[in-house]
Amino acid sequence: MLTDLNIRAGQTVSVQRMDALLTELRTRSETAARAATLYFPGEAARDDSAIFALSQDRNPDSWITTLERAGSRVLRSPTGVVAFRVGNAGLAVLPPFPLNDMWSGDIIYDWPLRMMLSAELTIGVALVRLGRYAVAVYEGQRLAVSKTDTRYVKGKHHAGGTSQRRFQRVRENQIHRLYAEASGVLDAQWRPWMHKLDYVVLGGEAATVNGFLKESQTLSRLSPIILERRLDVREPNRASLDEVVAMLYQCRLYPLSWDG
């Protein structure tokens, strides 16, 4: 059994911890009655017919029922899911970056996941909250370039009438200037890497990030490589950029069971 690994549903782990877990799964599979692996890409997760096809496999209970029981977000992960089975227990891994191919077999096949986690990807990061922003480019796990700054944005105003409308216009103008400034910095900082960015990851406060997405022409052009997940960063500053690299490569785990 894998219960002694103490994996909680939705737990995130570092590259180093994931590597150790994969080694442990492979070791235990050598003496297990059954071992299997499934790579299910994020694009397939958007296609109900692909999920249906998976359920029509020669052993339909092998994956579909178990993955659905693990949680709705597992099969619907935008980056896909890698699932491992050892005996009647297993592990679903939601990878940090999208899987490209679907594969299944009766072995522990961890090489593609290991390659993803060790790849020297070039990733653009933009973090935005009202009053502060940070942009950066990472080459592999090295921070290649970064820029952070602040711009004052008024807080909420609870009065009504003309005063409220005047305040709202001022605040909206300040937010627009924040977006414009952050967009200009992003363009300048990312320009040398623009042609080789593998992915773009955004983070900060959700409403502010969504507004920034609408106003940044550069992000509009890069929309095909912007990942759906958002980084939960409370303060977009230089210190947070040092922490982001670990967040970029985290895997989210879900324990699996075939015991019903």
Residue 74 belongs to domain with CATH number: 3.30.960
Q: Is residue 256, in this structure, part of any structural domain at all?
A: no
- Domain CATH code at residue 127: 3.30.420.60
Distances (CA, A) of 249 to 101, 235, 237, 252: 19, 20, 20, 10
Angle at 57 between CA 95 and CA 45, to 5 degrees: 35
Domain end position, chosen among 85, 118, 151: 118
Three-class SS state of 99: coil
Shared domain check, 145 and 104: no
Q: Which residues on adjacent β-strands are paired with residue 147?
A: 135
Angle at 151 between CA 145 and CA 156, to 5 degrees: 135
Residues 6 or more apart whose Cβ sits within 8 Å of residue 144: 136, 137, 138, 193
Q: Is residue 249, in this structure, part of any structural domain at all?
A: no
Shared domain check, 236 and 139: yes
Domain end position, chosen among 72, 97, 118: 118
Closest CA to 127 of 181, 182, 204: 204
The pLDDT assigned to 54 comes to 58
The pLDDT assigned to 81 comes to 94
Residues 6 or more apart whose Cβ sits within 8 Å of residue 98: 41, 42, 43, 78, 79, 80, 227
Shared domain check, 137 and 240: yes
User: With the CA atoms of 226, 232, 234 and 238 taken in that order, what torsion angle do they form, in degrees rounded to the nearest 10?
Assistant: -60
Shared domain check, 130 and 85: no
Host domain of residue 186: 122-244
Q: Is residue 142, in this structure, part of any structural domain at all?
A: yes
Q: Which residues on adjacent β-strands are paired with residue 56?
A: none
Distance CA 237, CA 125 (A): 12
Shared domain check, 185 and 113: no
Distance CA 37, CA 84 (A): 5
Domain count, the chain: 2
Q: Terminal CA-to-CA distance of the chain, rounded, Å?
A: 14
Distances (CA, A) of 32 to 2, 70, 108, 122: 11, 22, 11, 39
Distance CA 35, CA 48 (A): 26
**pLDDT tens-digit profile, the chain (260 residues):** 577 788 999 999 999 999 999 999 999 999 998 899 999 987 665 555 555 555 555 454 568 888 888 887 888 899 999 999 999 899 999 999 999 888 888 999 999 999 999 999 999 999 988 878 899 999 998 999 998 876 544 455 455 545 556 656 555 667 778 888 888 889 999 999 999 999 999 998 888 888 889 888 899 999 999 999 899 888 888 888 888 988 999 999 999 988 75
The pLDDT assigned to 173 comes to 65
Shared domain check, 109 and 183: no
Q: What is the pTM of this model?
A: 0.84
